[in-house]
Amino acid sequence: MKTAELIDDYLARLATAARGLPADRRAELMDEIREHISVALEENPPEGEADVRNILDRLGPPEGIVREAAGGDTIAARRTPFLQSPGVAVVTVLLLLAGGIVVPLLGWLVGVVLLWAGGRWSTTDRLIGTLLWPGGLAPAAYVLLFATRSCVSGPGQPETCTGTPAWMMGPLFLGPALVVPVVVAGYLLRRAARAG
């Protein structure tokens, strides 16, 4: 039915335009506009597509409604829209994953700061992103690139080894250290996309 499509289309445009709003305000706005449309349709049952178009035209462009919802209330705005943008989300995940390789520790820490400052993740997501896996891929990368281990043994003496501990160079460490950050990165990206 064309009228249902018109309404769904309008609500989809509204949802997209409202991406920058805090989640609770966005949900509230969507509910109220949806209620307006259904009440308006109930009071004046539409006789055709034109009637439905009329209701939506009188509501006005979704972008204008969102602008009204965003403005005039500087105290209540919790986060800057920039930190909620999808580009920043991608950069955050990249820094968490590989920032520690490029700039040891600091690169990853910047990713952690952005993870917690950005508006797109729940606290659970952020804890996952921080604790699994600390340093991202950097620890595994450093072991693979720079780990050396030399062992000396003499007759009648136990083998003594210096350098990277053996357990760190083995698959039980390297396996998860490589796989978990990548999996968590994908998870964070998917959660960020769904929040938008």
Partner 1 sequence: MEPGDAQNLLTQMRRGALPYCVLALLRGDPRYGVEIVRLLGAVEGMVTSEGTIYPMLARLRRQGLVDTTWQESASGPPRRYYRLTPAGRKALTAFSAEWQRFKDGVDHFVKGAA
Which residues sit at the interface with partner 1, rule CB under 8 A?
25, 28-29, 32-33, 35-36, 38-40, 42-43, 58-62, 64-65, 68-69, 72-73, 76
With 0-12 CB in 10 A as exposed, 13-18 as middle and 19+ as buried, what is 167? exposed
Q: How far is the CB of 1 from partner 1 (least distance, A)?
A: 19
Q: Answer yes or no: are the C-beta atoms of 109 and 91 closer than 8 Å.
A: no
Q: How far is the CB of 18 from partner 1 (least distance, A)?
A: 10
Nearest to partner 1 of 7, 115 (CB atom): 7
User: Could you tell me which of 138, 135, 130, 137 has the C-alpha nearest to residue 114?
Assistant: 130
Q: How far is the CB of 39 from partner 1 (least distance, A)?
A: 5
Nearest to partner 1 of 34, 149 (CB atom): 34
123 to each of 52, 80, 97, 115, how far by Cα in Å?
Answer: 41, 18, 19, 10
Which ranges of the chain does DSSP label H, i.e. alpha helix?
2-17, 23-43, 49-59, 62-70, 86-94, 100-102, 106-117, 123-131, 138-146, 166-169, 171-195
Nearest to partner 1 of 41, 90 (CB atom): 41
Tokens read off for 138: 């950097």
Nearest to partner 1 of 70, 91 (CB atom): 70
Q: How far is the CB of 28 from partner 1 (least distance, A)?
A: 6
Q: How far is the CB of 40 from partner 1 (least distance, A)?
A: 5
Nearest to partner 1 of 14, 89 (CB atom): 14
